[in-house]
Structure 1
């Protein structure tokens, strides 16, 4: 996965992670009133405008990379729950 740390460390962190083999991103998309509670390292929980804006940026990035937003559990193909 491309974790939140990649997105904080480098503005193109998610893109780089997905381009190097990651197949999941883990953005910090909690409500603004809760983000500071999860600030476990400098920069986490800051700099976001809105949840809707964050989701649109993520969707736009995925489109640019030729990826789609998954709508399932993400299990390995051919493997039942």
Structure 2
């Protein structure tokens, strides 16, 4: 357990940051799931529009430090290739 005032403050900050990051991660997963569902249904137009909405959300997660840049790029690349293959 934290003893010094600095360590106590850090613990408080970590809890707050964890909650924010958890919400961001959840939000991004929701957008990615919408793309996955559109791909599964075979609706290319819906998949493309969902992908266009998901991309900035995923990249925002990178700038906020929730995801690593390469992880987000890999996810986008794999999703876009799957959407492209729907034709």
TM range, smaller chain = 0.3 to 0.5
Q: Report which of the two has the higher share of helix.
A: 2
Larger radius of gyration: 2
The TM-score with structure 2 as length reference comes to 0.37
The TM-score with structure 1 as length reference comes to 0.38
